[in-house]
């Protein structure tokens, strides 16, 4: 399995690029201004917060879909485990997640959001996998690699260690400073 592990600085730069793409479409192509951001828990929460700030959208709501049961292991079908509680009918909604991997979760969440009758709905992610069944309206990078985001270092460390021991952890492209600190954290 191939890995990438973007830094916090890289995530911020990609978030700026994503926000610029959205603003360009709004200003140059006349796309609607978003009124609500729906962040997908857990992976999309950091990006939802960053885009909230960068796009000046204070209205952020959360939904959650569970599909993966481990690194590269998924359930048969994604399941929405936290539904949107806020009224978003008639609003322009931006659905935000960290990656469009299979696209299955985005498809399910998009159906759930559409049942709430938004006026307009678009999807934004940082990464897109080439095999995704749902291409986001906005994304920054394509990759076939398993992405270890900075907000999930400990989770990834534990999964990698369980699957292949410390050798797999060290081959994972996870920053060495993080590996060393997580080893110390785990020993306490």
Q: What is the DSSP letter of 98?
A: E
Three-class secondary structure of residue 62 per DSSP: strand
Average pLDDT (165-186) is 86
Q: Give the per-residue pLDDT at 187.
A: 80
Domain range for 31 is 3-146
Same domain for 135 and 94? yes
Q: Compare 75 and 149 and report the one with higher pLDDT.
A: 149
Same domain, 85 and 166: no
> Are 100 and 171 contained in the same domain?
no
Residues 96 and 10 in one domain: yes
Q: Under DSSP, is residue 94 helix (H, G, I), strand (E, B) or coil?
A: strand
**Shared domain check, 188 and 101:** no
Domain containing 75 — which CATH number?
3.40.50.2020
Residues 181, 137 share a domain: no
Same domain for 111 and 26 = yes
What pLDDT is attached to residue 71? Answer: 56
**Which pLDDT score is estimated for 68?**
61
Q: If you average pLDDT over residues 133-157, what whole number do you get?
A: 94
Per the structure, the count of domains in the chain is 2
Q: What is the pTM of this model?
A: 0.89
Could you tell me if residue 135 is left (phi over 0), alpha (psi between -120 and 50 degrees) or otherwise beta?
beta
Question: What are the pLDDT digits (tens) for 23-82?
Answer: 999 999 999 999 999 999 999 999 999 999 999 999 999 999 887 655 556 667 888 889
Identify the pLDDT of residue 126. Answer: 98
Q: For residue 13, is pLDDT > 90? A: yes
Question: Is residue 169 pLDDT above 90, yes or no?
Answer: no
Task: Answer yes or no: do 171 and 158 share one domain.
Answer: yes
Q: Which residues contact 105 (CB under 8 A, 6 or more apart)?
A: 40, 65, 67, 78, 97
pLDDT of residue 1: 80
In angstroms, rounded to a whole number, what is the distance separating the alpha carbons of residues 95 and 102?
16
* Same-domain pairing of 96 and 159: no
pLDDT at residue 168 tops 60: yes
96-137 pLDDT, tens digit per residue, is: 999 999 999 999 999 999 999 999 999 999 999 999 999 999
Q: Who has greater pLDDT, 143 or 77? A: 143
Residues 124, 164 within the same domain? no
Shared-domain flag, residues 42 and 122: yes
Which two three-digit tokens encode residue 185?
């954290």
């Amino acid at each position: 399995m191939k890995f990438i592990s973007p830094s916090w600085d890289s995530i911020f730069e990609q978030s700026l690029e994503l926000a610029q793409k959205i603003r360009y479409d709004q200003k140059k192509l006349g796309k609607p201004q978003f009124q609500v951001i729906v962040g997908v828990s857990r992976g999309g929460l950091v990006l939802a917060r960053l885009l909230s700030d960068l796009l000046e959208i204070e209205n952020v709501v959360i939904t959650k879909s569970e599909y993966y049961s481990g690194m590269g292991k998924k359930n048969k079908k994604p399941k929405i485990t936290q539904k949107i509680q806020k009224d978003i009918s008639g609003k322009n909604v931006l659905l935000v997640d960290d990656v469009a991997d299979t696209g299955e979760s985005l498809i399910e969440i998009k159906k759930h959001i559409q049942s709430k009758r938004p006026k307009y709905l678009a999807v934004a992610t940082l990464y897109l996998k080439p095999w995704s069944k749902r291409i986001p309206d906005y994304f920054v990078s394509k990759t076939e690699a398993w992405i270890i985001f900075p907000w999930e270092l400990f989770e990834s460390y534990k999964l990698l260690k369980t699957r292949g021991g410390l050798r797999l952890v060290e081959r994972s492209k996870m920053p060495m400073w993080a590996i060393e600190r997580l080893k110390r954290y785990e020993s306490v």
